[in-house]
Amino acid sequence: MTSQSPEALPISVRHITKTYGRVHALDDVSLEVKSGEFLTLLGPSGSGKTTLLMVLAGFTRPDRGSLMFGDREVIRLAPHLRNVGMTFQNYALFPHMTVAGNVAYPLKLRGVPRAEIGARVEKALETVRLGGYGNRRIDQLSGGQKQRVALARSIVFEPRILLMDEPLSALDKKLRDHMQIELRHLHEQLGMTTVYVTHDQREALTMSDRIAVVNHGRIMQLATPRELYERPANRFVADFIGDSTFLAVTRTATGVSFAGAPLSISNPIPDAADLLLMVRPERITLARDDNSDGGNRLPAVVREMVYQGDSYLLQSELTDGTLLTMRGAVRGANLSAMPAVGDKVTLNLAPEDAVVIDGRAD
Ligand code: ADP
Ligand code: MG
């Protein structure tokens, strides 16, 4: 869901390149962020996420490329003239100032009249549910509260674009899960065009309208969470998002085959040199004896069975030696009748769950 506020601006990144010596931190990056959209840059450490955010904020000047906010070229514009709010991984709060002092800082920097500042600070604190906390000292706050102060500071001057660099990475898991939903609600409420950075694929799936998967300073795929998970463009994306087993398949006149047997696949097969069948663990089932499930049949030998509370993992070896992981729900499964290690089984993969991808891994 993308909420639109009249002040939100689209962002257009065009052919941005940034090198540090021989490192291509950004390698000809182009992307469009829609007005009011929540877009996440997702990628491993060192992939160029922070560099791209710093280019958007104006703290890093790229070697070449163009950057448009709406219909305005901003690549040469100083950071404080871009009307962009930013939060950093380590909060970057002033520890010796009060909460209100921190949040007021961007307003003072922009010459907002004193009389207005108090009310705007309090409004921003209320937005992040810290109303009444203005007089507290930063070192009296918990990690989650500090993150909220940083957020209040980044939105207090009502920027049209909000940039967030791994804002939740210092929080423990419970608080992180909670803040993900809160940030999402805040975005819906404020409607700012938001570019969010994380290396956590689940966080990206939870929060984003769309996700740009970044690797080696390049965008590997830009799509909705569902498209990325279900139709990854290549092996890198498939590997980075969710769990999967990859089976080497061969192109035939009519489709693809695995270990000599043709596969029935209802998804388009990419035009790539190396093809892999991507198998998500929850899309595999134990085949029914009466064939009533009617998908692709994969004979295998069970190597490992792991109980995980809500689900179980069954790892089995296929005829070509690949270990394939299947995840099943414990609820509704007859665990006492499950195959044991060493048993021969037949696995089933429905044609609509059989996704062939480009084998490119970087
Ligand atoms: P990420 O945020 O995805 O972890 P960064 O954008 O911080 O990645 O870094 C991308 C690449 O650029 C890395 O190889 C990093 O070492 C390099 N890099 C980033 N900033 C600098 C800098 N100021 N000087 C030299 N190399 C840098
Ligand atoms: Mg970074």
**Which are the contacts of 18, defined by CB distance < 8 A and separation ≥ 6?**
24, 25, 26, 48, 51, 55, 60, 62, 63, 217
Task: Compute the distance from residue 269 Cα to the ligand 1 centre, in Å.
Answer: 35
Task: Compute the distance from residue 50 Cα to the ligand 2 centre, in Å.
Answer: 4
Q: Which bound ligand lies closest to the C-alpha atom of 54?
A: 1
Nearest to 106 by CA among 89, 126, 90, 124: 124
List the domains of the chain with CATH numbers.
Answer: 11-232 (3.40.50.300), 243-358 (2.40.50.100)
pLDDT for residue 248: 94
Segment 260-265 long-range contacts (CB within 8 Å, at least 24 positions apart):
263/296, 263/354, 264/295, 264/296, 264/351, 264/354, 265/351, 265/354, 265/355, 265/356
pLDDT along the chain (362 residues), means of 10: 62 98 97 97 97 97 97 94 89 90 94 94 92 94 91 92 92 88 91 96 96 97 96 94 94 93 94 94 92 91 95 95 95 87 96 93 78
In this structure, how many other beta carbons lie within 10 angstroms of the beta carbon of residue 242?
Answer: 18
pLDDT for residue 67: 98
Nearest to 216 by CA among 25, 15, 19: 25
Nearest to 154 by CA among 106, 210, 205, 202: 106
pLDDT for residue 180: 92
Q: Give the whole-angstrom CA distance, residue 37 versus residue 209.
A: 6
Task: Compute the distance from residue 169 Cα to the ligand 1 centre, in Å.
Answer: 18
Q: Are 153 and 110 in contact (CB under 8 A)?
A: no
Q: Are 267 and 231 in contact (CB under 8 A)?
A: yes
Per cent of the chain over pLDDT 90 is 82
Q: Does this model's pTM top 0.75?
A: yes
Task: State phi, psi for 229 to the nearest 5 degrees.
Answer: -70, -40
* Predicted confidence (pLDDT) per residue in 28-78, tens digit: 999 999 999 999 999 999 999 999 999 999 999 999 999 999 999 999 999
Q: Dihedral (C-alpha) 324, 330, 334, 336: value to the nearest 10 degrees?
A: 80
> What number does the ligand 1 atom closest to the CA of 217 have?
10
Task: Compute the distance from residue 221 Cα to the ligand 1 centre, in Å.
Answer: 20
Q: Which bound ligand lies closest to the C-alpha atom of 166?
A: 2
pLDDT for residue 6: 53
Tell me the residues surrounding ligand 2 (ion) with CB < 5 Å. 50
Determine the residue type at 72. R
Q: Whose CA is nearest to atom 16 of ligand 1?
A: 46
Q: Are 236 and 201 in contact (CB under 8 A)?
A: no
Beta strand pairing call for 250-251 and 256-258: antiparallel
Classify 228 as helix, strand or coil: helix
Task: State phi, psi for 243 to the nearest 5 degrees.
Answer: -100, 150
Q: Give the whole-angstrom CA distance, residue 97 versus residue 100.
A: 8
Read off the tokens for 312: 């179980």
Kindly provide the b/e burial profile for residues 86-116, where b requires at least 16 CB atoms within 10 angstroms of the residue's own CB.
bbbeebebeeeebbbbbbbbbbeeeeeeeee
Q: Whose CA is nearest to atom 1 of ligand 1?
A: 46
Q: Are 272 and 291 in contact (CB under 8 A)?
A: no
Q: Are 94 and 138 in contact (CB under 8 A)?
A: yes
pLDDT for residue 4: 44
Query: Which segments of 204-274 are extended strands (E)?
Result: 210-215, 218-223, 245-248, 250-251, 256-258, 261-262
Q: Are 206 and 40 in contact (CB under 8 A)?
A: no
Q: Give the whole-angstrom CA distance, residue 127 versus residue 144.
A: 15
Q: Whose CA is nearest to atom 22 of ligand 1?
A: 20
Task: Tell me the CA distances in angstroms from 110 to 75, 78, 80, 195, one per residue in order.
Answer: 20, 13, 8, 23
Cβ-based burial of 253 (10 A; exposed 0-12, middle 13-18, buried ≥19): exposed
Q: Give the whole-angstrom CA distance, residue 158 versus residue 78.
A: 18
> What number does the ligand 1 atom closest to the CA of 26 have?
10
Q: Find how far residue 211's CA is from the centre of its chain.
A: 5
